[in-house]
Amino acid sequence: MAPIRRLVLDVLKPHSPSTVKFARNVADASGVVGVNAILLETDREVQNIRLVTEGEAIDADEVERRISDLGGTVHSIDEVVAGEQTVEPRDQPQDWLPP
């Protein structure tokens, strides 16, 4: 099976644990070499964050399990990069808007 190299998740989490602790815990998952946690929105009880994980062979199930164990919920999987190479997104002509 092709390895997962990047996994981008939209996550809803409680205020506690902190985003720092959340990111560090996810970074300890098998195959993860780095995590970027971006705060998108916050309210009285929860925060919405985007978690970008990168590695050579990310264990997506373990990442989701760690999020759940910390009280978070995965709202959506926004990007998956899998295979022997990382393929960066490119704009396509149909994506361009006229000026």
Whole-number pLDDT of residue 16: 93
Cβ-based burial of 3 (10 A; exposed 0-12, middle 13-18, buried ≥19): middle
CATH code for the domain of 48: 3.30.70.1340
Domain range enclosing 49: 4-85
For the CA atoms of 28, 29, 33, 36, what is the dihedral angle to 10 degrees? -80
Whole-model pTM: value is 0.84
In a domain, 93, yes or no: no
Residue 95 within a domain: no
Question: Does the pLDDT at position 92 exceed 70?
Answer: no
Residue 85 has pLDDT above 90, yes or no: no
50 inside domain: yes
Does residue 58 form part of some domain? yes
Task: Measure the CA–CA gap between 26 and 54, rounded to whole angstroms.
Answer: 11
Question: Does the residue 14 lie in any domain?
Answer: yes
Q: Picking from 53-57, 72-76, 82-86, which range would have the lowest pLDDT averaged per residue?
A: 82-86
- Whether 20 is in a domain gets the answer yes
Number of domains in the chain: 1
Question: Which alpha helices (H) appear in the chain, and where do they start and end?
Answer: 19-27, 60-69
**Tens digit of each residue's pLDDT (9 = 90 or more) over 11-66:** 999 999 999 999 999 999 999 999 999 999 999 999 999 999 999 999 999 999 99
